[in-house]
Amino acid sequence: MSTSDIKTALVTGASSGIGYAVVRELVKNGFRVYACARRVDLLEQLSKEYEPHRVIPYPLDISNFEEIVLLKEYLSTHLPRQRLDILYNNAGQSCTMPAVDVTNERLNQLFQVNVIGHMNITSQLCKFLINSKGTIVFTGSLSGVSVFPFGAVYAASKAAIHQYARVLHAEMKMFDVRVINAITGGVSTDIADTKPLPENSPFYFPEGIEALENRKFMAARNFPMSAETYAEKVVKDIVSPKDPVDIYRGSLATLISWIMMFAPYWLVEWVVFKKFKLDKVEKALRKRSETTKEK
């Protein structure tokens, strides 16, 4: 097979976790991969494990539009026949924090990385996908369809990506470009947010702090799927001729999605309160309120 006949993929957020595993799995399936991340030292090590030009590290901050434009220019001169077979939009940041405690700076950064960056890179590289009749993939999340306390901002970013992917699917279908929205459950990665609760938070009391800490390590306690197994399943979806739009991968992904689809919201919220110890938080708050009134 000549160099120009090898199928080509580009993966963002490729330096660790899901992105890193996806790069490996794509190479296993015969792809040349442009592996993009802000830090490329791990990717450079990975590229040395394969034959030359099989994994090509590329430094990219997806929140920086100018860098995305430069990436497009780079690919214009390096892609064989101006074709990109897979664009895997995986880069992301987590945010586990009460909604009212997320600062404007952090809110903007999260949406730049989790939403706007993916939209920009998709629009800038779409001509390469159209040329190849390729596939665009987004790493979605159960957070975008379910109710996970202290994750409102992250959930909102993923819900935005879900809807973007679904509408994009309808628009790109006429170009024979597939769009896959991978609604992701528990996967063993290092994306967990460990930032502490600010002292001025309305939740800054023992029960609130405990509930937040319990939420931070939720995924690790629920038997998450390995990143390698997840990547194997999603790449199998990519190389399949099927066109499902939404796929559910990762531990509990299908189960929770069905629950959210059919269970009444009051029941979901009741279970969430019990599961995440919000009932204890509410009880402590009401007790504090009563004590304040008595004074």
pTM score? 0.92
> DSSP state, 203?
T
In this structure, how many other beta carbons lie within 10 angstroms of the beta carbon of residue 62?
25
User: What is residue 257's predicted lDDT score, i.e. its pLDDT?
Assistant: 87
To the nearest whole number, what is the mean pLDDT of the chain? 92
pLDDT of residue 190: 76
Tokens of 278: 């919000």
Q: Which of 20, 34, 88, 154 is catalytic?
A: 154
Q: What sign does the CA torsion over 209, 188, 258, 171 have?
A: positive
Q: Mean pLDDT for each consecutive 10-residue tract of the chain (295 residues)?
A: 76 94 96 94 90 94 97 95 96 93 96 97 98 97 92 96 98 97 90 84 91 79 87 96 93 89 92 89 84 62
Res 293: pLDDT: 62
275 is a catalytic site residue: no
Let me know if 132 is a catalytic residue: no
- Mapped onto helix, strand or coil, the DSSP state of residue 96 is coil
154 is catalytic: yes
pLDDT of residue 215: 85
pLDDT at 149: 92
Catalytic residue among 7, 88, 94, 158: 158
pLDDT at 3: 57
The fold of the 3-264 domain, in CATH, is: Rossmann fold (3.40.50)
CA–CA distance, 60 with 106 (Å, rounded to integer)? 20
- The dihedral region occupied by 245, where left means phi > 0, alpha psi between -120 and 50, and beta the remainder, is left
What pLDDT, on a 0 to 100 scale, did the predictor assign at position 194? 79
- Domains of the chain, by residue range, sit at 3-264
pLDDT number for residue 166: 97
Which position among 7, 15, 34, 277 bears the catalytic label?
15
Check residue 214 and give its pLDDT. Answer: 84
What is the reported pLDDT for 222? 67
DSSP one-letter string for 215-283: HHTHHHHS-PEEHHHHHHHHHHHHHSS---SEEEESBTHHHHHHHHHHS-HHHHHHHHHHHTTHHHHHH
3-state class (DSSP) for residue 49: coil
pLDDT at 216: 79
